[in-house]
A and B are shown apart, each in its own frame.
Chain A
Amino acid sequence: MTGEMKAEGEVTYALICLRTGVVLQVLDGKPSNARLEGLAQAAPELCNSNETADFSLLFARIGSDGRSSHFSEHTLVSPDCVHVIERLRDRPDVALVALGPGAVHLGIVLSGIRRKLRELEVV
């Protein structure tokens, strides 16, 4: 098994509630863990910040072609873990999160969660 395949297998995906900070479902039969619970708990504050009011004008000025009032994706990287939060388009109070190993596997985690998001949005 290549290093990349091993890293892909270590990524945990889950659905979380952006109102209550609760883990709704861990995907692929994996168990929950303390880091996932902590990320879910912090997600409402990360994703529902009121401090984004100034940003819509800034982004419009630098060329954003869409209208939004919030960030759609958050990526947080530490030496040990990559955390990604993707707000679902059709369920704005729910987000898909991914936790993967180490900063060096950033690309794997990002491509993985985007693939998983497409699968969820098709269903």
Chain B
Amino acid sequence: MASEAKSGFPSIPDDSDVIDTATSLLDHIEDLPAGTTGALAFGDEGLVLIENKRICWAIATHMRRRLTDILCQQRSPPLPREMMEDVFRRCKKQSVPFGELLVSSGLVTEVGLRAALERHNGEAVARISCFHVKPTHYTSHSKSGYDPRFVFTPTELMASIAMRKDDQRKVVARTHLGEVMVPDATGFAFVREPWSPRPLLVAVQRDSPVRLSEVHAIAKWATSLFDVTTVFDPQTAIASATWCGSTALVSWREGEISYAAVCSTRPASTLLMKKLALRLEARTQSASATTARTVEGS
């Protein structure tokens, strides 16, 4: 379908509703009891394998692009599909996980495999959700066995789906979070788009304990807070709010992306605020210096 080809995610319709439907499906996974491990089937539309409520693998019926396609396209020029198929045959013969053999063979890196799995699983979840199908049955698995390096929280997949057309913003946000985050704090990035009623998740720290519904609530709170601050200081760029003297929310804006962090200790929020304030001061001084040079030059 032409609309699918535009989306950058061939199997997902280019439709803003996919954010709502995917959120609904991922919320359902987060609402499962703690420790849930098994297979969640969605009628004939697809299947999601879960381990401790982390998504290990998802597949949607009639997906136009599979994991191997994504992996092949990671390299330039693309890897021949036959190489992937050969690894797949070997992993079945040797009873070794496919991902492990891919990485040990040097065909993909660990980072590349994780990125490909995130893309594949996000695409599958989004595609399943588009059919508005509720889970039809669940099979519990007693054994776990997925490599924790390659499983995803619902929040991580939501960011992948929301930013399916915008790798650049995702990279900027992930880089920024990597630079500023501190111990005992977990952060995420979001943006406001005119076509979406809710803030869109751009990136989230790996293994964040913050649920998707909480991420949305925090983003909404932060957005409202910065709207209110325009009354007395439209340049407000950093905000924090302390709960019970120790835990806190911190939110800030750099460029067009907004960020928020949940801090579980007082030192964490203090250190994060200090880092952000220094960055703000440095940006302000740099902007002033540029303006002064421009004025002198004219």
A51 close to B (CB within 8 Å): yes
B233 near A78 (CB under 8 angstroms)? yes
Tell me if A68 and B281 are in contact (CB < 8 A).
no
| Residue pair B232, A38 in contact (C-beta under 8 Å) | yes
Chain A residues 40-72 with CB under 8 Å of chain B are 41-42, 45-46, 49, 51-52, 54-56, 58-59, 61-68, 71-72
Cα-based distance from A79 to B235 in the complex (angstroms): 7
- What's the least CB distance linking A84 to chain B, in Å? 10
Q: Which chain A residue has the least Cβ–Cβ distance from B283?
A: A79
**A30 within 8 Å of B by Cβ?**
no
Contact indicator A35/B232 (Cβ below 8 Å): yes
Distance (whole angstroms) from the CB of A49 to the closest CB of chain B? 7
In the complex, the answer to whether B224 meets A49 with C-beta atoms within 8 Å is yes
- Minimum CB–CB distance for A73 against chain B, Å: 4
B295 interface residue per 8 A CB criterion: no
Contacts of A80 in B (CB 8 A): 233, 235
Task: Decide if A54 touches B247 in the complex (CB within 8 Å).
Answer: no
> Which residue on chain A has the smallest CB distance to residue B270?
A110
9 contacts between A and B (CB under 8 A): A39-B232, A45-B228, A46-B229, A59-B243, A64-B243, A71-B243, A77-B276, A79-B235, A102-B281
Residues of A within 8 A of B (CB): 35, 38-39, 41-42, 45-46, 49, 51-52, 54-56, 58-59, 61-68, 71-81, 83, 102-104, 106-107, 110
